[in-house]
Structure 1
């Protein structure tokens, strides 16, 4: 009876988590506006002329530019018509509410409707948006916004191509400057190979659940799946932290703030998988249920949610894209494999016949 209740509770929790992925996941992705991967590599080559305390880098897999100005003079980023757009200096970050770029750059698609007051020729109307010395923004000059690839890419999609050299103009008082960078097309990997490898791996791990649960091989299988789930949980935490670092988080505090604000589900499932793996290694009661539930969450929130890296050349982490694909494949193998193994062990245990009841007056089993 208890095992049936636990199994039913697992099904309810799994359904609730699946619904959360279906409904909350897209909203969270839209709110962050950060891609899960891309085939366009955006790089900053120089800031000219160089200024003390001024630095620019690419974040969110190239989706945004990040400018930091710790100097004693404010620096303005100019918009698409040469109008003042952003101002970063000792007194914080300001945006010009009369600049069309203020609205166009709110989304990576650049499809925000312009309000009536947006006029690049109007006198700037500055609004303070942050008290730091750093600002991040989408810039259409550094992005490829068309749905179809450039002509040279369509002609030879298996080769790397320079799409354009781009510049973003800057101004500090009467001094002018610019951010210089490049935009390149990088051929994507063959996603089929990665999906096949992940599928073979998770089926292999899941097959361990076929070993008799109460046998010595079954006990070793439980420990093996638990150990693998710990590795998958660690991979999920590493990948999640990597996404925050690529999004521009600085320091432990910045990473924690980003994790709790946008990557909390992936972080929690990674930590939960580690806890469930330790639970299984200790051979605690209900370890099979813990493996199945934690594996499901890990596969959904940290595996499937990041599987776009299998088909994208540029991953949203500060490491080579191949490293990101290995981490996600490991998460899927550990998560889905633990789910299958745990479910098979639960099913086999539920079908094990109950030992006959012994009567204290008659120590031998009684026949029904």
Structure 2
């Protein structure tokens, strides 16, 4: 259990508590599900400026329990799991299968600046040292720092496409490989990739967007009472951070326990074969390219089931995650805007034999779509 959950530390910078964040349920759910199952593939958060994207992601990283890492290892290698070790430590562990000297550390939340170079992101090899001393001199980059943590890219839609490719490849494979002048070094790079952006400043290409597991939309809160609550909470936190953090400690401890329990329960969650067929039927009807949509929806539904402490996926679990997993995979034209999720909900309701809710019917009318029609 982390030091965050036991007592707020005064020695480090205070972070706004995750459980104190009002609204933005879609973003919070997508982030939690990715933390429970990092193989979902990350989250793309698109929405207005000033809606608390960075605050929420920092709050989630602070909420997570501390992890065991090998002492003085730049890659935060796991002390006893070979799959989460650098090649050098893995070799050492396989020759002598004893847990390596370890310590605990907070889950890293790494910010990737827009102007970052590929060397800064991936790391560099000191060729001169390698040739003169015969050792692989590697200077780790941001991907090494983010291993077993969260890598956050604000305004990812403004990032160079080549760098986005590098990030997505590492996130998908769990490894980062740096090659230069015939020297090759690789290290584990398993992280939850979180990108955010404002649609007004440009969209990601559909091919890149499809590589993100989930897509959360956030909007500025319109309800005056909620806006006042958010403003007052922020003022209370800024005035006395330790007291505010202390106030939310019981909820933080409970939320952290829920995440840990869900991570342990995930492997035993089952989904009925008929439900899996229907998910694929929805993806097929929506003309989703490839199988990523099917895979991510299956994983997200299981992660949600585990988050709520259950072992059997229900239709409602699928309903709550399917738009998050598929809405960004429907675009074929880069100039087309992303569907708010109504199209996904409509096909889901038809395939699963459910009636659209009154809210969805209103949305259908507003979009000029006849509810229940194709």
Q: Which TM-score applies when normalising by structure 2?
A: 0.26
Identify the structure with the greater strand proportion. Answer: 1
Q: Which TM-score applies when normalising by structure 1?
A: 0.26
Bigger CA radius of gyration? 1
